[in-house]
Amino acid sequence: MFGKEFRRKYAVTDQGVKNLVQGTIWTVIVNLIAMASIGILYGMMTDYVGILSGGTALPSAMLFGACVVVFVLLSFLTHFKQYKATYGLVYGEVRDTRISLAERIRKLPLGYFGKRDLADLTETIMGDVNRLEHVWSHCISYLYGSYISTVIVAIAVFIMDWRLAIASLWGVPVAFLLLFGSREFSKRKSEKTKEAAISVSDGIQETIDNMREIRAINQEEKFLDDLNMKIDRHEKITVSGEFSTGIFVNAASVIMRLGVATTILVGTKLITSGQIDFMRLFVFLLAITRIYSPFDQALALIAEMFMSQISASRLMEIYEAKTAEGSENVAMNGHDIEFENVGFAYDGDEVLRGVNFTAKEGEVTALVGPSGSGKSTCSRLAARLWDVSEGSIKVGGVDINTVDPEVLLSDYSMVFQNVVLFDDTVMENIRLGRRDATDEEVMAAARAANCDEFVRKLQNGYDTEIGENGAKLSGGERQRISIARALLKNAPIVLLDEATASLDVENETKVQGALSKLLAGKTVLVIAHRMRTVEAADKIVVLKDGKVAEEGSPKELFEKPDGIFRRMSMLQRASAGWSL
Ligand code: ADP
């Protein structure tokens, strides 16, 4: 019962399983002690009847008094133990689960985040773990404890009187069969509820994220209507889900309680035919109400347990997703990046095939080609943000698939189109390049990246908060901050996406100046958009439809008649723009 399958089903750790076993054992003890109270009551009643019929009861009154004291003490002690084993220990488990999930997510390859978006992952770490917490603390031990104690009590009542036992207990298996029968139905309902909840949080996030664009295109109403629709749908699905599980749970509870009626019927019949006395029926009636009570708790929770299995499977999916692993100790010989027969597919869509080229240390290698030809993909693969599907990529002769991604990334600086800035000061945003850099080092990098001038004009200079994702800065300023960050990191490999189309001439010159400092002596792989960069590159790799179409120095390629590069640069020169 508590094997691997159990761990998967409820997404518990080994320690969690131990806690649950303890919780279950204490629940059984608590239930049995509660049952024992009926034994005491039975004894007292028999004695009382004895007194009524003229006997003396003094010694037994003392005995019963002692029993009651012991019973109360035991009951208190076992409840306390049960509480500790079920509630107390679970909170540690919840904390550990959240931490280990976050750790796990950190190691997942980027490709995974294409499949599950932010709202979905947040829902798992917060919502699913919350739901499971409730199940771990309230349901599992109670339910399994109730199974075990009921079996023990059922055996006892069968020994007392099998006819009354059947009359009182028949409802229990029927109730559970009904609930288990409805499990698939409940699961489907709760899957739907979950989807609807995620779509609501997705919708809210999207609306807030894109508020500026939504206002700009004057579409507030449409977006709010969409959101309202999603919220209404979620409400409807939740209510209908709760309603249908509620019906099954209540029906099960009523069926179980029909046992009281059948016990009275069968009992009266047995009394009238003289087979049992009234006291026996009385004690049975008392006993069955005690049998039902732990199940009543459990029944209310069983629906939640079924639903929690969806949460558990979502959690396990994260645990079981393949992470990018590798060795932390690698000896690279220089930092040449070699693509060897690289093939790659996003979710089955092949985008690169048989790509071969080398980006040498100390040189600028420019990737050019039409949009969608696979330039960004090559650049992401070079940093192991995704793993190649075929072939290999080597850095300094070492296959990057064998290197721990975090260790590998310490050798890379990336200056991409979408600069990510955090809602913190300019100083801290640049310091992200190297956490232990001093303020002087940060400012030196900022000067080298041509940031100094605009930073000094900000209200609090380097201590100015720049708003979420640098909302208070212009495109060029943000890009220069990201270059300052890269300069501070001073990693031997630089990956650069040079889309600076939105920058004005002055800004472009400044960014260019900052870049040339960053690139000196490094292995540079640049997704080139401007003729200036392309002509200054040491090597050009032209990609077309996911394959290398041409490769060589700008001069060689330009001299190639009918070459793609030649055609592209002629076109560019003919037009007024500079960008490729
Ligand atoms: P380029 O940088 O040359 O414009 P990309 O490497 O971005 O080309 O894209 C190559 C192909 O891969 C395109 O067809 C694009 O639609 C597809 N693609 C890019 N990123 C993803 C992604 N995250 N998921 C699925 N397909 C993608």
Is any ligand 1 atom within 6 A of the Cβ of residue 110? no
pLDDT at 506: 61
Mean pLDDT within 525-538: 82
pLDDT at 508: 67
Is there a shared CATH topology between the 7-320 domain and the 328-411+538-575 domain? no
pLDDT tier for residue 580 given thresholds of 50, 70 and 90: very low
Q: Determine the Cα–Cα distance for residues 193 and 415; give it in Å rounded to an integer.
A: 41
- Per residue in 495-507, pLDDT (tens digit) is 988 765 445 566 6
- Per residue in 466-482, pLDDT (tens digit) is 876 677 787 778 888 88
- Ligand 1 center from residue 544 Cα (angstroms): 12
pLDDT tier for residue 483 given thresholds of 50, 70 and 90: confident
Is any ligand 1 atom within 6 A of the Cβ of residue 351? yes
pLDDT tier for residue 578 given thresholds of 50, 70 and 90: very low
DSSP state letters, 510-540? HHHHHHHHHHTTSEEEEE--BHHHHHH-SEE
Q: What percent of the chain has a predicted confidence (pLDDT) above 70?
A: 93
> What torsion, rounded to 10 degrees, do the Cα atoms 92, 98, 103, 105 define?
160
Is any ligand 1 atom within 6 A of the Cβ of residue 374? yes
Identify the DSSP state of 108. Answer: S
- Ligand 1 center from residue 369 Cα (angstroms): 13
Number of residues that this document lists for the chain:
580
- Per residue in 402-442, pLDDT (tens digit) is 998 888 988 998 887 677 788 888 899 899 888 899 999 99
- Per residue in 44-85, pLDDT (tens digit) is 777 777 777 766 555 566 777 888 888 889 889 888 888 887
Mean pLDDT within 131-151: 84
- Of the listed ranges 14-18, 53-57, 212-216, 520-524, the one predicted with least confidence: 53-57
Work out the angle at residue 218's Cα, subtended by the Cα atoms of residues 217 and 219, and round it to the nearest 5 degrees: 95
Is any ligand 1 atom within 6 A of the Cβ of residue 285? no
What angle, 0 to 180 degrees and rounded to 10, lies between the N-to-C axes of helices 14-52 and 140-160? 40
Instruction: Tell me if 520 sits within 8 A of 489, measured CB to CB.
Output: no
Q: Determine the Cα–Cα distance for residues 169 and 360; give it in Å rounded to an integer.
A: 79
Ligand 1 atom, smallest distance to 347 CA? 25
Can you say whether the dihedral through the CA atoms of 233, 235, 238, 243 is positive or negative? negative
Mean pLDDT within 156-167: 88
- 3-class SS at 348? coil
pTM: 0.66
Q: Determine the Cα–Cα distance for residues 573 and 380; give it in Å rounded to an integer.
A: 30
Q: CA end-to-end span of the chain, whole Å?
A: 64
pLDDT at 493: 93
User: Which CATH number is 7-320's, of 1.10.3720.10, 1.20.1560.10, 2.40.160.20, 1.10.940.10?
Assistant: 1.20.1560.10
Of 440, 436, 429, 420, residue with least CA distance to 465: 429
- Ligand 1 center from residue 372 Cα (angstroms): 6
Q: What is the CATH number of domain 328-411+538-575?
A: 3.40.50.300
| Candidate from 110, 376, 548 with most ligand 1 atoms within 8 A of CB, to mutate | 376
- Of the listed ranges 90-94, 104-108, 417-421, the one predicted with least confidence: 417-421
Q: Determine the Cα–Cα distance for residues 107 and 286; give it in Å rounded to an integer.
A: 57
pLDDT at 393: 94
pLDDT at 231: 92
- Per residue in 320-360, pLDDT (tens digit) is 888 878 888 888 889 999 999 999 998 788 999 999 999 99
Q: Which protein residue has the closest C-alpha to ligand 1 atom 19?
A: 377
| Domain boundaries along the sequence of the chain | 7-320, 328-411+538-575
Is any ligand 1 atom within 6 A of the Cβ of residue 350? no
Q: Determine the Cα–Cα distance for residues 428 and 481; give it in Å rounded to an integer.
A: 11
- Of the listed ranges 140-149, 189-198, 292-301, the one predicted with least confidence: 292-301
Structural tokens at position 523: 């292995």
Q: What is the mean pLDDT of the chain?
A: 83
Mean pLDDT within 83-90: 78
Strand-strand pairing, 412-415 and 493-497: parallel
pLDDT at 412: 92
Mean pLDDT within 287-299: 75
Residue with tokens 């990737």: 367
Is any ligand 1 atom within 6 A of the Cβ of residue 375? yes
Element holding 325 (H helix, E strand): none
DSSP state letters, 407-443? HHHTTEEEE-SS----SSBHHHHHHTT-TT--HHHHH
- Ligand 1 center from residue 377 Cα (angstroms): 6
- 3-class SS at 550? strand
Cα–Cα distances (Å) from 486 to 33, 40, 419, 436, 449, in that order, read 68, 78, 12, 14, 9
